[in-house]
Amino acid sequence: MGLPETMKLTPRERAEAIEVQKYLHAHPELSTQEQKTSAYLLGHLEAIELPAGVTRQVSRAGRTGFGVAFRNGEGPVVAYRADMDGLPVKELTGLEFASTATQASETGDVVPVMHACGHDSHMAAALGAARKLLANPEQWAGTVVFIFQEAEEIGKGAETMLRDGFWNDLPRPEVLYGAHVVGRPAGQMDVYPGGVTTATDGFKITIRGVSGHGSAPQTAIDPIVIGAAIVMRLQTIAARETDPDKTAVVTVGSFRSGSRWNIIPETAELLLTTRSRDEHTRGVIRNALVRIVNAEAAAAGAPEPIIEQIVSVPATENDPAETSRITEIFTEVFGADHMVPEPFTFSEDVSEFARELDIPYVFWLYGGFSEAQMNREGGPVTNHSPYFYADPELSLEPAVHAALAAILSRVGKA
């Protein structure tokens, strides 16, 4: 149990891992556009000099995703996943390694990009764990598959990679691990049994009105007014239509319409996401959403809106037995006072890799913040904030050690 002293990062290894995270943080790329990120990671993994008897197998899938399997003799097969994409957010952290990157988004607009969700930490931790394993082949036997996933932020990366035959050429693992950094004190570990993250459904709603002059609204049907009514009414789903004991979140992330101050536009577009932990609540939210959107349009005398579901990601449900085992290991490695099991309402598609093979998985959360970040005026920020970052000096080493402890619990030599 635990993590052997020889498998903990040396000062040099720690410094190298931190430099990797800083580089990745400064050079983010949007979902499905992670070509340079993918090449950077793969370059590092292929440059590692393999110990005698260890083999390396690379498999690409999707647009930029890939997996690398390291085989060290006979033994169990374990997978560990990290995600690669950044977000269309302008970084305001003030870090010396802050991102100034821009990229063309899916709409064609050039937008600022940053790692506002900590994927730089996830990648650096996975690479650090791989390097440590290969530097100490005497400590383990079996196969470890490192997955570097594209497009997690849009909920389609795992699906795309699997549809492209990700597992076709790689050893099939008996268990899958993964982790996500959150706005908690560095060193904290959250291994939660059951639904650690929520299911999410993403919708694009096109409200159809009748265009007209801003001075004569009686000749038009204003989709902006209809959209505003829909946005407000959608908030009553969680407040009035779902069980107060159940998780239910409805968030409108984009409202676009019009181009001039004196023109009532023809259409308005809403992009929104819903979150839930159980299928019943998920259905209640979806049905209420459709009813509200159609009813508000009908009340205004507008044509029926177009409702498109653009994302569907299931809840991340940790395997109970495997979660209990990993909790025991992490408690020994990090101490009981660093274990804070608490679910989050964000969503993840990591489970798709395990569901494809019908294997158990455990996805844990780890703290990324310094004391100064936790005591920030106004309170700690959340993932997707322009001020969010995982402090590499404090949070990366625990992230690497957690990955190694979980992996070695299967392939480690007693």
34 is in an annotated binding site: no
Nearest to 194 by CA among 247, 156, 153: 247
Nearest to 72 by CA among 378, 370, 350, 412: 412
Residue matched to tokens 């400064």: 26
**Catalytic: which of 83, 190, 317, 349?**
83
Active site residue 49: no
280 is in an annotated binding site: no
**Catalytic: which of 34, 153, 296, 319?**
153
Q: Within 10 A of 355 (CB to CB), how many other CB atoms are there? A: 16
Q: Report how far residue 387's alpha carbon sits from residue 241's, in angstroms, rounded to the nearest whole number.
A: 34
180 is in an annotated binding site: yes
269 is in an annotated binding site: no
3-state secondary structure the chain: CCCCHHHCCCHHHHHHHHHHHHHHHHCCCCCCCCHHHHHHHHHHHHHCCCCCCEEEEEEEECCCEEEEEEEECCCCEEEEEEECCCECCCCCCCCCCCCCCEEECCCCCEEECECCCCHHHHHHHHHHHHHHHHHCHHHECEEEEEEEECCHHHCCHHHHHHHCCHHHHCCCCCEEEEEEEEEEECCCEECCCEEEEEEEEEEEEEEECECEECCCHHHCECHHHHHHHHHHHHHHHHHHHCCCCCCEEEEEEEEEECCCCCEECCEEEEEEEEEECCHHHHHHHHHHHHHHHHHHHHHCCCCCCEEEEEEEECCEEECHHHHHHHHHHHHHHHCHHHECCCCCCCECCCHHHHHCCCCCEEEEEEEEECHHHHCCCCCCCCCCCCCCCCCHHHHHHHHHHHHHHHHHHHHECC
Q: Report how far residue 274's alpha carbon sits from residue 312's, in angstroms, rounded to the nearest whole number.
A: 10
Active site residue 153: yes
Residue matched to tokens 């690398």: 68
Nearest to 255 by CA among 246, 268, 242: 268
Q: At a CB cut-off of 8 Å and minimum separation 6, what does 5 contact? A: none
106 is in an annotated binding site: no
Residue ranges at the known binding site for Mn(2+): 117, 119, 153, 180, 384
Query: Annotated catalytic sites, by residue?
Result: 83, 153
Binding residues: 117, 119, 153, 180, 384
